[in-house]
Structure 1
Amino acid sequence: MNQLWRHGDRSPTKTFPTDPFQEDAWTFGGGGWGQLSPTGMKQHFKLGSMLRDQYVKQYNFLPNKYNSKQIYVRSTDVNRTIISAMSNLLGQYGQNDGSSVVDVDYPKVDGWPTGYVPIAVHTVDDDTDHLGNMEATCPFRQQVWELAKTSDEVKNFTNSDVVQSMLAKLTNYTGMAVDIDNLWIITNALYIEQIYYNTTIRQKNTWFTDAFYAQADAINDQVQLYQNGIFKTVPNTVNGHDVGVLTRKVRGGPILNDMVMHMNIKLSCQGQTTPNCTWINNLRNYVYSAHDTTIYAFFSALLIEEFAVKANGGYPLYSAAVLLELYVDHNEKEKPYFKMIYHEQDGDGLNRTITKGIQGCPQDSDYCSLDILRNFAQTIKPDQPIDQWCFTDLDAKHAGITSVSMLLIGMIFAIQNNFFGLF
């Protein structure tokens, strides 16, 4: 199983110059920009508890107590995602129910929470994390976005009276030159401030109203669709480059292909005892603790971005989680299938299956042939290893192959019930 989740509730990562709530206004989670709040910690603790109830207690798929060989947790290298992972794992394996053994799983020492088992959370440098961090250093991605902004669709949107009027007003109100690239700073800060300072913000920022914010937020929502490679014009070709396909390749392509790679290796290692298969044979759960942008890019790569956004647009909400389950049907020559579940926000359960939203998947089943996911991964795979492709030029000989094959896949028949969950 692969799990991808967004961190929980946090403080803003930055704000605009005239904002009355600068960095010193945010004291929780160690204080400062972008820190996980106690609410965010609680959100992930609750999600971890639900994951334990479903995959440990109900399915008996994951172990009752932490097994270092069966779970691997990777986080982006920022406090809020690391602490979200820690909070989630506390919900999964921090139980004072006798499942963990003192002086075996945790020390017998005064002050140590009974039953709490520390679990490793791994990271890579944030600037090179092309799986989890959609803002990792990647000049190629920026070139594609700059090209996309010259397309007729984006230019017509940006130059419309509504957008230009909003950007001009915000430039006047916020003390910074506002464009479609930095609009998110304002809408994101205001979104969080409505949670924590809702009355005060309306008193100090007299220009702020619900209607004004909703309009600014709607404009930003459309910008985010463009930045994730979702255009009404398909293909959206500029100077011979399909900027939609290129964007989805460079943003969501790496993490989608990473997940499919794990499942392919898991399947190919069935029955194998060679050293290179030992790790994957033992592994049952690979976790990515990341951001709203990560989930958005992942869903956009699959052209199911409508599942990533909240009801009226925007980004995945706090503690949103994607669960990608792998199955093998023993009655059909060990054919592999997958099931995709989406936990949209805190308070939701783990029962929203979205598999059938993926093009080519059957509409009468929660399961879909793994070949469908493999084909999507292949068509959206970066043209080179992402750490190399990011540093190529858009018009270089081997950069930016833009053709994408249509998925010509037959109907998937109903799946029999005899499944064995592998990953």
Structure 2
Amino acid sequence: MKLSVTLKLLMILLQDVLPLVVAQERTLRFVTLVYRHGDRSPLGTYPTDPHKSGAWPQGFQQLTEVGILQQKALGRFLRERYAGFLSTSYKPQEIYIRSTDYDRTIMSAQANLMGLYPYSDPEISWRPVPIHSVPVKYDKLLKPPTRTCRRYQQLMEETINLPSYQAKMEGWKGFVTEMANYTGLKPEQLTLRGLWKVHDSLFCQKTHNLALPGWATSQVLSTLSEIEAFNIEAHVGMHASQEKVRFTGGLLLGAILSNFSKIVCRDLPMKMMMYSAHDSTLIALQGALGVYNGHLPPYAACHGFEFYQEGNNSFSVAMFYRNKSSHQPHTLVLPGCSTPCPLPLFIHLTRTVIPQDWDAECQNPQRSTGRTVTALAVAVGLLSVALIGVGILYWRR
């Protein structure tokens, strides 16, 4: 009788203690964050737009004051989440921040860091933190140039020619004609991307409590949202999705895994890497991971990778997605694995979506031509050096 009571007490004790022991054995080693910029002004306008650029003091495509606050809130959330992991003040050996080369993403990174590293000195209310970027035309990591990727364009042509795709477009023909009359745009301008730009303008105006034109009814806005979701699905799924994501989110996913590998192998003190980017960046990344839920990532949405070192010195990775500031972030689970997922299994499951040579897989003839020109230039250079050498030897003799 006493033995059974003792066992029950021991079981209760173990239930309370074991989770703490497991938690102590698993230590956070590295974090990668990919987030969308904060609230912005529209990317552009259309001929009959009643507001035009006058409604936006900073102009089009710029971060708004609301967007600054959203990013500061994200920074404060990250400060709280990683309070015992990341130093309270900026240390260059601990964190690296990269942004796409757009005003709104660079400013979003700055606002985020204001929340992550609050400064108490009244003389210096904010301490600058370096943010790195690459010119847009060279940024394959966060803004892949799929328009110049021949193979990706071939896959999109195949997608567009699908009967299901054509049926959808046929069903929206009347709507496109109406939108041409409403917006003043020519029908040929109202491609899926053109309709998205109109929707973007209306969405930004509605978000900032500006009066919408009479034709922009809830039904019109709903149809525009449906078209936008369809366009996204066409680019990340619908047809040859495994190959498509290799040209979009696969490159970034490969870099995230490679970065952690370098940090561990070189025993670097780096703890966090941030990428300030766009909704398209998050969609592409989550599409590559197989966790995209079909909804447009809201402003300041953040996808996090947390790399852990287990008690047996193996590594694992967990993911979260913060898409609402009023809720705790969602736990994301890689299909085919639990969470945290053992790192070798995570790498194995994602291997098919990570390109080995992005340019070669694009099958872009311009790229091979460029390599040929480079090779010829090198050959000519070497030949010139050889001839000069022969000349010097001849002169000496």
Structure-to-structure mapping, 1:356-367, within 5 angstroms = 356=333, 358-362=334-338, 366-367=339-340
Residue in 1 that maps onto 2:307:
326
Q: How high is the sequence identity, in percent, across the aligned residues?
A: 26
By how many angstroms is 1:139 displaced?
Answer: 3.6
Question: Which of residues 344, 348, 353 in structure 1 aligns to 2:331?
Answer: 353
TM-score (norm 2): 0.78
SS in structure 2 at match of 1:14? coil
Question: Which of residues 240, 249, 253 in structure 1 aligns to 2:250?
Answer: 253
> Letter of the aligned partner of 1:33 in structure 2?
F
Residue in 2 that maps onto 1:296:
283
How many residues matched? 333
Is 1:120 the counterpart of 2:99? The answer is no
By how many angstroms is 1:20 displaced?
Answer: 1.5
Residue in 2 that maps onto 1:413:
none
Structure-to-structure mapping, 1:75-224, within 5 angstroms = 75-96=99-120, 112-114=123-125, 116-134=126-144, 138-140=148-150, 141-159=152-170, 161=171, 163-176=172-185, 177=187, 178-198=190-210, 200-201=211-212, 205-224=213-232
Instruction: Structure 2: state its 5+ residue gaps.
Output: 1-30, 369-397
Structure-to-structure mapping, 1:209-248, within 5 angstroms = 209-228=217-236, 230-231=237-238, 236=239, 242=240, 244-248=241-245
Matches of 2:209 and 2:153, distance apart in 1: 35
Matches of 2:266 and 2:61, distance apart in 1: 41
Is 1:375 the counterpart of 2:348? The answer is yes
By how many angstroms is 1:13 displaced?
Answer: 0.9
Residue in 2 that maps onto 1:392:
364
TM-score (norm 1): 0.74
Matches of 2:42 and 2:69, distance apart in 1: 18
Is 1:266 the counterpart of 2:245? The answer is no
> Letter of the aligned partner of 1:23 in structure 2?
S
Matches of 2:350 and 2:134, distance apart in 1: 23
Matches of 1:383 and 1:135, distance apart in 2: 17
Matches of 2:182 and 2:365, distance apart in 1: 38
Matches of 2:227 and 2:146, distance apart in 1: 24
Matches of 2:44 and 2:145, distance apart in 1: 15
By how many angstroms is 1:376 displaced?
Answer: 4.0
Matches of 2:362 and 2:65, distance apart in 1: 36
SS in structure 1 at match of 2:82? helix
SS in structure 2 at match of 1:322? strand
> Letter of the aligned partner of 1:249 in structure 2?
R
Q: Is the CA contact 2:336–2:349 (under 8 Å) kept in the aligned structure 1?
A: no
SS in structure 1 at match of 2:308? strand
Q: Is the CA contact 1:76–1:132 (under 8 Å) kept in the aligned structure 2?
A: yes
> Letter of the aligned partner of 1:282 in structure 2?
P
Instruction: Structure 1: state its 5+ residue gaps.
Output: 99-110, 237-241, 271-280, 397-423
> Letter of the aligned partner of 1:291 in structure 2?
H
By how many angstroms is 1:113 displaced?
Answer: 3.0
Structure-to-structure mapping, 1:46-85, within 5 angstroms = 46-56=73-83, 60-85=84-109
1:87-115 CA distances to partner (integer Å, 9 max, x unpaired)?
0001111331x7xxxxxxxxxxxx9534x
1:102-158 CA distances to partner (integer Å, 9 max, x unpaired)?
xxxxxxxxx9534x2210000000122111124576343444323321223322322
Matches of 1:318 and 1:284, distance apart in 2: 25
Q: Is the CA contact 1:360–1:372 (under 8 Å) kept in the aligned structure 2?
A: no
1:338-383 CA distances to partner (integer Å, 9 max, x unpaired)?
010111133333x4211x2x21112xxx411112331244211225
By how many angstroms is 1:258 displaced?
Answer: 0.7
> Letter of the aligned partner of 1:361 in structure 2?
C
Q: Is the CA contact 2:34–2:304 (under 8 Å) kept in the aligned structure 1?
A: yes
> Letter of the aligned partner of 2:253 in structure 1?
L
Q: Is the CA contact 1:339–1:368 (under 8 Å) kept in the aligned structure 2?
A: yes
Over 3 Å counting, the alpha-carbon distance change for 1:171 and 1:371 in structure 2 is: farther
Is 1:22 the counterpart of 2:52? The answer is yes
Matches of 1:304 and 1:45, distance apart in 2: 26
By how many angstroms is 1:389 displaced?
Answer: 4.7
Q: Is the CA contact 1:336–1:370 (under 8 Å) kept in the aligned structure 2?
A: yes
Larger Rg: 2
By how many angstroms is 1:179 displaced?
Answer: 2.1
Structure ranking higher in helix proportion: 2
Over 3 Å counting, the alpha-carbon distance change for 1:392 and 1:135 in structure 2 is: closer
By how many angstroms is 1:217 displaced?
Answer: 1.0
1:143-192 CA distances to partner (integer Å, 9 max, x unpaired)?
43233212233223222x2x222222212211222122322101111111
Matches of 1:224 and 1:157, distance apart in 2: 14
RMSD: 2.2
Matches of 1:40 and 1:359, distance apart in 2: 33
Structure-to-structure mapping, 1:275-314, within 5 angstroms = 281-306=268-293, 309=294, 313=295
Over 3 Å counting, the alpha-carbon distance change for 1:158 and 1:373 in structure 2 is: farther
